[in-house]
Amino acid sequence: MDVTVSVNGEQHRLDIEPRRTLADALREDLGLTGTHLGCEHGVCGACTVLVDGEPARACLMFAVQADGCSVTTVEGLAGDDGTLHPVQEAFVAHHGLQCGFCTPGMLISALHLLETDPDPSRETIRAEMSGNICRCTGYTGIVDAVEAASSTMRDASRPPDRP
Amino acid sequence: MKCAPFEYVRAGSVAEAVTVLRDTDGEGKILAGGQSLVPILALRMARPAVLVDVNRIPDLDGVARNDGSVRIGALTRHSALVAQTEHPLLAEAARWIGHAAIRTRGTAGGSIAHADPAAELPAVAVGCGATVHVAGPAGERSVPATELFVGALMTGLGEDEMITGLDLPVPARWGFAEFARRHGDFALVTAVVAEIEGEIRVTVGGAAPVPVRASRAEAVLAAGGPAAEAGRAAAEDLRPTGDLHGSADYRRAIAGEMVRRALAQAGVGTGAN
């Protein structure tokens, strides 16, 4: 089946079997292996991507359902020159990743959280990130990172003070 | 963890969807949000020959006030149920559904049709006395939520029928309490309190194959009894089964406490009414 999908701003046309999940299409057909697959049945959150700006589990969506949609994966976070996104910077600075397997899903979930709630409490961060499982159990570092990223992103979006 | 092959049909209308379902002779399944169906397919617990994707059917989503109730389109995502302000009980209950990346995809109609005993929306539908609208090849019909759920993961829907929406009465007072081991997990027990047309309805989800009205608790309240006593009456009425998440006795105790908390939130049985 023909599918046209925009991934990280780039248009792709794929001829795809209906049962292929969006996660498999991203990884196998487009070579975007940043999206990780842990459980493949919607429990672990590792494959979370943005579909038309909303977080979705790429293992619970068939690629044919993304026809005409705009998908953002972890590869789309950094700038064209390789500059890390503030959320990525914060994960590095605050030990928000250990083995790194859950990180792509964590980053996407954190990004969506901070876009909808620029100043979340630690409790909110824990609740909103609860759909992403970290097997290294590095949650404290992850919550620290999201909290730090929220502060950086708020500062960046604040208009400069008048002299 | 890959699905078996299936034929994919993207339906453009409800009429087309139910026609395709009819023509598959029970081998077809509706694909809405996919948050329950796709795991079932991935685990190969089901192998439908045809998936009818209803996500692109126009005008099947949205929440609109209609006198004393709200009309909820079947395709309304849980995230929209959280965001709407017409039905505060529904918004509160929807916050408890899954995680952010599930609420953006999962739908109201899908949750009702899936009929998980521990799911929030079936409990709210029974608790508020919802009317569920169903389309089939022969036309439309309406079913009270209390009659739709017939067992765990089982409804009275025909194989060629689909839910198009539901009317959910807006309660004058309400309470919602849920106990889950982790936020976003399916509930161990959910308690819904809704005052509809002067009647206090107490409903418990997760403690039986379908959401159940706690009639003895309601009788206690009707006689002016306190919330704590109503909670105990609700617990005594339940015959939950134990599993690795909690024994039968534990579930019963939690159910009583959730009913008490939901009543307290609703301001019912506090001695002030």
Transcribe B143-205 into DSSP letters: EEHHHHEEETTEES--TT-EEEEEEEEPPSSEEEEEE-SSTTSPPSEEEEEEEETTEEEEEEE
The string of pLDDT tens digits covering residues B81-135 is: 999 999 999 999 999 999 999 999 999 999 999 999 999 999 999 999 999 999 9
Are B260 and B239 contacting, i.e. CB atoms less than 8 angstroms apart?
no
Q: Distance from CA of residue A25 to its chain's centroid?
A: 16
Is the Cβ of A41 closer than 8 Å to some Cβ of chain B?
Answer: yes
Sheet containing strand B28-31, edge to edge, reads B7-10, B50-53, B28-31
Q: Is residue B2 part of a domain?
A: no
Same domain membership, residue B179 and residue B152: no
Same domain membership, residue B207 and residue B131: no
Q: Hey, of B1, B105, B107, B114, which one would you mutate to test binding to chain A, going by the most A CBs within 10 A of its CB?
A: B105
The string of pLDDT tens digits covering residues B142-174 is: 999 999 999 999 999 999 999 999 999 999 999
Residues 6+ apart with CB under 8 A from B69: B167, B168, B169, B170
| Chain A partners within 8 Å of B10 (Cβ) | 64
Same domain membership, residue B163 and residue B67: yes
Residues B219-258 as b/e (b if ≥16 CB within 10 A, e otherwise) read: ebbeeebbbbbbbbbbbebbebeeeeebeeeebbbbbbbb
Domain that holds residue B132: 63-169
CATH number at residue B11: 3.30.43.10
Q: Is residue B134 part of a domain?
A: yes
Q: What is the 3-state secondary structure (H, E, C) of B209-248?
A: CCCEECHHHHHHHHCCCCHHHHHHHHHHHCCCCCECCECH
Same domain membership, residue B87 and residue B37: no
Residue A118 tokens read as 């620029």
A27: pLDDT strictly greater than 80: yes
Place of tokens 């089939």: B136
Same domain membership, residue B190 and residue B111: no
Mean pLDDT of B182-209: 92
Residues 6+ apart with CB under 8 A from A159: none
The string of pLDDT tens digits covering residues A59-118 is: 999 999 999 999 999 999 999 999 999 999 999 999 999 999 999 999 999 999 999 999
Domain C-terminal end among B169, B194, B214: B169
CB B198: neighbour CB atoms within 10 A? 6
Q: Where is pLDDT greater, at A156 or A84?
A: A84
Question: For residue B107, what are the β-bridge partners?
Answer: B77
Mean pLDDT of A35-45: 96
- pLDDT at residue B245, as a whole number: 82
Homologous superfamily of A2-76 = Beta-grasp domain (3.10.20.30)
CATH of A86-157, one of 2.30.30.100, 1.10.150.120, 3.40.50.2000, 3.30.430.20: 1.10.150.120
Same domain membership, residue B262 and residue B206: yes
- pLDDT at residue B243, as a whole number: 83
Same domain membership, residue B182 and residue B130: no
Are A85 and A108 contacting, i.e. CB atoms less than 8 angstroms apart?
no
Say which of A39, A41, A109 has its CB closest to residue B101: A109
Q: Is residue B20 part of a domain?
A: yes
Are B199 and B91 contacting, i.e. CB atoms less than 8 angstroms apart?
no
Number of domain units in chain B: 3
pLDDT band for position A163 (50/70/90)?
low
In 3-state terms, what secondary structure has residue A151? helix
* Stretch 92-121 of chain A: residues touching chain B, C-beta under 8 Å: 109, 112-113
Mean pLDDT computed over every residue of chain B = 95
| Chain B partners within 8 Å of A24 (Cβ) | 2
| Chain A partners within 8 Å of B7 (Cβ) | 18
- pLDDT at residue B186, as a whole number: 77
pLDDT band for position B187 (50/70/90)?
confident
Domain C-terminal end among B169, B198, B215: B169
Same domain membership, residue B91 and residue B26: no
Q: Mind telling me how many Å the CA of B182 is from chain A's nearest CA?
A: 8
Mean pLDDT of B40-45: 96
Mean pLDDT of A32-43: 96
Same domain membership, residue B88 and residue B147: yes
Helices (H), chain A: 22-24, 86-93, 103-116, 122-128, 139-157
Q: Is residue B150 part of a domain?
A: yes
| Residue of B185, B214, B74 lying closest to B130 (CA atoms) | B74
- pLDDT at residue B28, as a whole number: 97
Residue B266 tokens read as 């609703």
> What distance in Å separates the CA atoms of residue A30 and residue A145, rounded to the nearest whole number?
30
* Domain residue extents for chain A: 2-76, 86-157
Residue B51 tokens read as 């998936």
Q: Is B39 within 8 Å of A42 when comparing Cβ atoms?
A: yes
B9: pLDDT strictly greater than 70: yes
For this complex, say whether ipTM is above 0.95.
Answer: no
pLDDT band for position A162 (50/70/90)?
low
Is the Cβ of A15 closer than 8 Å to some Cβ of chain B?
Answer: no
Question: B61-65, B81-85, B104-108, B266-270 — which is least confidently predicted?
Answer: B266-270
Question: For residue A12, what are the β-bridge partners?
Answer: A5
CATH number at residue B230: 3.30.390.50
Q: Is B34 within 8 Å of A62 when comparing Cβ atoms?
A: yes
CB B161: neighbour CB atoms within 10 A? 23
- pLDDT at residue B37, as a whole number: 97
